Amino acid sequence: MGKPRERIAVEVVAGARLVHGATRLPATVISIQSIGAVSAEDNVRHTAAITEFCANELSLPKDKVVITFHDLSPSTVGFNGTTVAEANKA
């Protein structure tokens, strides 16, 4: 997504109970929140890459990978004592 590693946070909820498609088969729900890296074209590319990773590395069926993308405004994200919008002014 073109973001430096120090700006990426990942939350893993191991052992969460998840039912998808009326089955308890292994599945994942991924929520991606980003400032300026979410678009219809990018989402298609990112979905393909993430789904492939989950299939190859986690042995998840591709139809058990659900991804949502959220485009965030810099003024709605706080980090290091300020908002990203204010930090970008400096």
- What is the chain's pLDDT, residue by residue, as a tens digit (90 residues)? 778 788 788 888 888 888 888 888 899 999 999 998 889 999 999 999 999 999 999 999 999 999 999 999 999 999 899 999 999 997
pLDDT at 10: 85
Q: In which domain, by residue range, is 51 found?
A: 24-89
- The number of folded domains in the chain is 1
pLDDT of res. 7: 79
Query: pTM above the 0.85 mark?
Result: no
Is residue 15 situated within a structural domain?
no
**CB distance 46 to 32 below 8 Å:** yes
pLDDT at 62: 96
CB-based contacts of 7, cutoff 8 Å, min separation 6: none
Q: Tell me what pLDDT residue 12 has.
A: 86
Amino acid at 37: A
| 2 within domain boundaries | no
pLDDT number for residue 57: 96
